Amino acid sequence: MSSRTEALVDLDAIRSNVELLRAGTPADLMAVVKADGYGHGLVPSARAALAGGATWLGVAFLEEALALRAAGIQAPILSWLATPGEDLAQAVAAGIDLSASAPWSIAELVRAARTADRPARVHLKIDTGLSRGGAAAADWPELVTAAAKAAAGGEVEIVGMWSHFAYADVPDHPTVRGQVANFRAALAEAERLGVTPQLRHLANSAATLTSPDAHFDLVRPGIAVYGLTPVPPHQHGLVPAMTLRTHVALAKRIPAGAGVSYGHEYHAERETTVALIPLGYADGVPRAGGNALPVQLGGRRLRVAGRVCMDQFVLDVGDGPVSAGDEVVLFGPGTGGEPTAQEWADILGTISYEVVSRVGARVPRAYRGDLG
């Protein structure tokens, strides 16, 4: 029996996307699988990426990294976002690499290493212009020196040095060149202080595709792994992996002039058929998409009629055929004429990253492909 709703994930597409990205660089590749694999499923996405040639996995939070280890994945993992007081010893014991942006984080890694009775593997992060994570340039020598002292004591292993782009989705933006230069300067300063990392990494999805001078030893694609382009409209041969689909819950006729959904922001211009779709903003269909977002029903593109509700929205089908149980595709790769996540993003004034990663937990993930 088919489910009411599902996010169907093509694991072969994830694998082939990683193969394509890997073929475009001499660097190793870290597939970023944070946020439940951008909504595609943490563990299945990680396994598909590794099958495609990824040599590392990247996550934001410690619990994501531990979930990968619990699933039996032994590939190198970098977890980069922690706050003071978190239990880092379990990460160190599991061989998970951690990021440090300030001397206090080095001190916490030293304590974790002593508890785990093994060195903590660390990647030192420098802020090269994003003004988000990473040590400020003025604070970088202090961070490097603290890490070097801990490494000399055998409590820390300095594996990497890294940073993150602000504007790589506009490849010719001057900040891209500026951040590469700032990163090189930080590496040179670390070298002057006697520290040479095993790995240098800077490139996100956009830079992996468009800025080969930023590849260094390791690239860190995220959204591109899932087939969505970081530099629209250029698709770069990537294949979107997620199709969000459901089935009509009810079809009925309503009279001309009838208001549809909360607030009656849509009125039927004439007698028409409406179809009730059992997905809403609690499932990741943005409320802001009312009267705007396209979906596909019976080979036709239709727009949401009226407001998106928590669990449902309505389509005005006109006089076309529709029955309860008919399939509705909200977005997919676009190969069958259905809308894409990028189209939704353009309409909503956001990015495709948000469209796929906000698909809610009550939407079952289903998998297809050899790895499924």
Which residue among 38, 149, 262, 266 is the active-site one? 262
- 34 is a catalytic site residue: yes
Which residue among 34, 281, 353, 367 is the active-site one? 34
- 226 is a catalytic site residue: no
The span from the CA of 67 to the CA of 120, in Å, is: 19
Which amino acid does the sequence have at 285? V
- Residues catalogued as catalytic: 34, 262
